[in-house]
Amino acid sequence: MMTRSVVAALLVLVILAVSVRDSNPAPASADKYTTRFDSIDVDGILKSDRLLRNYANCVLDKGPCTREGQELRKLIPDALQTECTKCSEIQKKQAGKVMAFVQLKHPDIWNAILDKYDPEKTFRKKYGYDEDDDEDEE
């Protein structure tokens, strides 16, 4: 489960950050990310192609982005490096749902996010995301 949710956690955090407007978010500690994203309706976001694409464009620097989205883009490299150890359990569960949905329904978004945040394919190789790409194997 952890191997499936590391990269996906990044996507769900980005989607959630763009859509959340919470005046009293739970603060992040040095060892955890904020839990302000934990109560968001992930299913509602995933059901809207327009919203999903807008959020993806924010993450990919291809469209407008809220302050929360900009902040979260800065956290993505840390989340990759720490294998999402700073994510809450709820964020990890949501990440699994988002990952499965985006990989099946929007592979263009999934691949673009992976290309942007893992250009050397370090994490994809580590977690087996490119197992079926024979040309990438050495």
pLDDT tens, residue by residue, 99-126: 789 889 999 998 998 899 899 998 888 8
What is the Cα–Cα distance from 92 to 72, expressed in whole angstroms?
A: 16
Mean pLDDT (whole number) for 128-133: 61
Contacts of 131 (CB under 8 A, 6+ apart): none
pTM of the model: 0.69
CATH fold of 2-124, please?
Antennal chemosensory protein a6 (1.10.2080)
Domain spans, the chain: 2-124
Directed axis angle between helix 2-19 and helix 89-105, to 10°?
A: 90
What is the Cα–Cα distance from 59 to 55, expressed in whole angstroms?
A: 6
| pLDDT at site 134 | 46
Give the model confidence (pLDDT) of 37-91 as tens digits. Answer: 677 788 988 999 988 888 888 889 999 986 666 766 777 778 778 888 898 888 8
More confident residue, 112 or 36: 112
Whether the per-residue pLDDT at 20 is higher than 90: the answer is no
Whether the per-residue pLDDT at 132 is higher than 70: the answer is no
| pLDDT at site 91 | 80
Q: Which amino acid is at 103?
A: Q
